[in-house]
Amino acid sequence: MKASQLSGKSVDELESLLGDLKKEQFNLRFQRATGQLENTARVRVIRRDIARIRTMMTQLQTGMTQSQTGMAQSQTGAGQSQVSGQSQKEAENA
């Protein structure tokens, strides 16, 4: 499931999807424990879909849009490079 597929959904729809995925995740874990799981990659896909839905729900609840999260990440990254650049200069001078 892609984030673009989730972007138009409401919080209630996302919660419903999240419940379905958690049930599937439980069933997959049970199959793995009993040795009946055939498609082991499905566990990873489900885990990531759950994380993706939780992220979308958090963004909807806080009112952040996709463009705002990208801007926040780029600003954070720029600040980190300046700090690391300063520490490198200090290390060279020492």
Q: What is the pLDDT of residue 83?
A: 52
Dihedral angle over CA of 65, 70, 71, 74, nearest 10 = 160
Question: What pTM was estimated for this model as a whole?
Answer: 0.64
Give the contacts of 29 (CB within 8 A, at least 6 positions apart): 43
What is the chain's length?
94
What are the distances in angstroms from CA 48 to CA 6, 11, 14, 52, 63?
13, 18, 14, 6, 22
CB 33 within 8 A of CB 24: no
Q: What is the pLDDT of residue 1?
A: 74
The residue that leads in pLDDT, 26 or 61, is 26
| Residue the block writes with tokens 């909807």 | 60
Q: What is the pLDDT of residue 52?
A: 93
37-73 residue pLDDT tens: 999 999 999 999 999 999 988 988 888 765 565 666 6
